[in-house]
Chain A
Amino acid sequence: MDSALYIVVIAFYMAILAVVGWLGKKKVRSISDWYVGGFKIGGIVMGVAFFATYFSAVLMIGFAGSASKWGMSATVIGMWHAVSAVIAFAVLAPRLSKAFKELNAMTFSEFLSLRYGSKILGYTSALIIAIFIIPYTVSAFIAMGSAISTIVGTPFWVGVLVAGAIIAVYVFSGGLFSATLAEFIQGIVMTIAVVAVWIFSYMLLGGFVQAHEAMAAIDIRSVTFPAFGTTTWSVIIGLTAVMGFGMLVQPQMVLRYATISSRMNIKRALLIATFGSLLFPLAAYSYGALSRPILASFGIDVMTLKDDLIVPLFVKSAFPAWLSVLFLAGIMCAATSTIDALIHMTAGTLTRDLVRPASKNISDKTQLRMTKIISLILSLGCCIIAIYPPGLIYQLTAYTWQVLASSFMGPLVMALFYKGANKYGALAGMVAGFASAQLWYFFLAPPITPIYPFFPGVASSLIVSYLVSRVLVLGQKQA
């Protein structure tokens, strides 16, 4: 009975997204429409699309499962997402959307290439995106496949193929129009799901304060901030920076806040995105932490479980049927709203920044057709890798955000805030950030030191971008 209900929910969801794909297809009349929604997407839709892209099933299952062991200090990571959303829309979006429109840039790499007048910068950034976004996309497919297989009871590959089929249907048809419209719906459903689970978890433990008392009774560290220098401390501080400030330069996020139609819509998106970026992770990290005393009442000690298994077990043990169905819908929405953004952005980058420059006289129509085909191939390819994941994928995913943030922070920030920034500074900053994050990851990352590669990576990217540009500007003036 339950399985039949789950299948109905999945089929209904696919039907809705097929309609979204069809609506988006009707709106796509030019290549700009597919890539950047013709710069016509409104603030309310984009505000919800922003946090729907930002937060995936990895947060609802993986990070929430880890929060079960970290305790309420994990909510610190989530709350700083709201601060990052403010920076994205109040500080970066006005300048970035203006620059995107003036340069007629349709991808992140194209923006860097046009802003700095350097094709090498475009190729390099596109290569970094292509290499590091794919493992992240695969991890989102794996999260959805795992969730569907655990909750519904189907084989893992069925869950992955369902995700792939859903994405292919609407991203292929309507590009950014369909993606953001779908993300608008998905963002609302996934927020309702996590908030329902959050409230339900507090109710199970007898109330707000009583729940914290129950956590403290099991382990006082569940409600206190971790001691300075401990492993949990470095995880909380590191993830707060990586998932918060690292988001600002993730190419799929940049495409969300750089393509809004007007200044007024940026302000609308700011309010909605900040609200969602506060509520969603606060609820997810909180129910993760609360799952420990709840599962303890069923005789299950979360400290003996693998992090990824805790939330699915929490769902199976403690949730009534209606909440399990809602949670499954939320997971599907959270996973697909992130995957669609990654597929859309990567397909666009591969076509426009790597294939197009290598092909002579390629028309917009051919380019659009090629982008759509690449988006289908990407969806299929990521599905296949997700079904047969090499172990390395998980390791790559762990530092994808750090590598992208370290590579792009300097070039992007200097492009927007330093008029003297030039292509040599941007390229040097990108290489320095990328290299220092890699070196730190392999030789000095936790547990060797408590510092995540994000910090040295972003610092070197910013400092080298600025210094190299500055030295060259001074040199030109003296000459």
Chain B
Amino acid sequence: MLEILGSIAQTSNLSPIGIDWWIILGGWVPGFLGLALAFVIWARSRGDGDE
């Protein structure tokens, strides 16, 4: 198994969690950044008190 993974790692862009970096950078990072932005917008609005 380790040999197979070693040869895979040499020919691909696998991250330490075993998934291609392109998947992480192209999907997971934007998704979590979106969530972080939503949290910041919500947290900043808590002081508005427009209700």
A residues lining the B interface (CB < 8 Å) = 72-73, 75-83, 85-86, 89-90, 208-209, 211-213, 215-217, 220, 223-225, 240, 262-265, 267-268, 270-271, 274-275, 278, 282
- B4: nearest residue on chain A (CB-CB)? A217
For residue A208, give the distance in angstroms from its CB to the closest CB of chain B.
Answer: 7
Q: Which of B13, B17, B38 contacts A271 (CB 8 A)?
A: B38
- B2: nearest residue on chain A (CB-CB)? A213
- Chain B residue numbers with a CB within 8 Å of A264 are 45, 48-51
Q: Which of B12, B27, B37 contacts A79 (CB 8 A)?
A: B27
Docked Cα-Cα span, A208 to B18, in Å, equals 9
Q: Which of A76, A90, A216 contacts B5 (CB 8 A)?
A: A216
* B6-38 interface code vs A (CB 8 A; 1 in, 0 out): 001000111011111011001110111111011
Cβ contact within 8 Å between A212 and B17: yes
Cβ contact within 8 Å between B39 and A223: no
Cβ contact within 8 Å between A79 and B38: no
Given contacts A73-B20, A267-B42, A278 and B35 within 8 Å (CB-CB) = yes
- A240: nearest residue on chain B (CB-CB)? B27
Count class of interface residues, chain B: 20 to 34
- Chain B residue numbers with a CB within 8 Å of A215 are 18
B residues lining the A interface (CB < 8 Å) = 1, 4-5, 8, 12-14, 16-20, 22-23, 26-28, 30-35, 37-39, 41-42, 45, 48-51
- Interface of B (DSSP majority class): helix
- Chain A residue numbers with a CB within 8 Å of B34 are 82-83, 85-86, 274, 278
- Chain B residue numbers with a CB within 8 Å of A89 are 38
Cβ contact within 8 Å between B38 and A275: yes
- Chain B residue numbers with a CB within 8 Å of A270 are 38, 41-42
Q: Which of B16, B20, B22, B41 contacts A267 (CB 8 A)?
A: B41
Given contacts A90-B37, A216-B8, 19 further A-B contacts (CB under 8 A): A72-B19, A73-B27, A75-B27, A80-B30, A82-B35, A86-B34, A89-B38, A211-B18, A212-B18, A213-B5, A217-B4, A223-B14, A225-B20, A262-B51, A267-B41, A267-B45, A271-B42, A274-B34, A278-B31
- B13: nearest residue on chain A (CB-CB)? A224
The 5 lowest CB-CB distance pairs between A and B, nearest first, are: A212-B18, A79-B31, A76-B27, A225-B22, A274-B38
Cβ contact within 8 Å between B23 and A75: yes
Cβ contact within 8 Å between A278 and B32: yes
Q: Which of A81, A213, A267 contacts B18 (CB 8 A)?
A: A213
- Chain A residue numbers with a CB within 8 Å of B1 are 213, 217
Docked Cα-Cα span, A271 to B34, in Å, equals 10
Cβ contact within 8 Å between B14 and A80: no
- Chain A residue numbers with a CB within 8 Å of B20 are 72-73, 223-225
- Chain A residue numbers with a CB within 8 Å of B32 are 79, 82, 278
Cβ contact within 8 Å between B31 and A282: yes
10 A–B contact pairs at CB < 8 A?
A: A83-B34, A86-B37, A90-B37, A213-B18, A224-B20, A263-B45, A267-B42, A271-B38, A278-B32, A278-B34
Given contacts A79-B31, A217-B1, A86 and B18 within 8 Å (CB-CB) = no
Docked Cα-Cα span, A274 to B38, in Å, equals 7
Cβ contact within 8 Å between B51 and A82: no
Cβ contact within 8 Å between A80 and B31: yes
For residue B24, give the distance in angstroms from its CB to the closest CB of chain A.
Answer: 9
Cβ contact within 8 Å between A80 and B27: yes
Cβ contact within 8 Å between B35 and A275: yes
- B38: nearest residue on chain A (CB-CB)? A274
Cβ contact within 8 Å between A75 and B28: yes
- B48: nearest residue on chain A (CB-CB)? A264
Cβ contact within 8 Å between B50 and A220: no
Cβ contact within 8 Å between B45 and A76: no
Cβ contact within 8 Å between B27 and A78: yes
For residue B37, give the distance in angstroms from its CB to the closest CB of chain A.
Answer: 6
- B20: nearest residue on chain A (CB-CB)? A224
- Chain B residue numbers with a CB within 8 Å of A211 are 18
For residue A224, give the distance in angstroms from its CB to the closest CB of chain B.
Answer: 4
Cβ contact within 8 Å between A86 and B26: no
- Chain A residue numbers with a CB within 8 Å of B30 are 79-80, 82-83
Among A77, A212, A263, max chain B CB count under 10 A is at: A212
Docked Cα-Cα span, A85 to B31, in Å, equals 10
For residue A65, give the distance in angstroms from its CB to the closest CB of chain B.
Answer: 19
Given contacts A83-B31, A270-B38, A271-B38, A209 and B18 within 8 Å (CB-CB) = yes
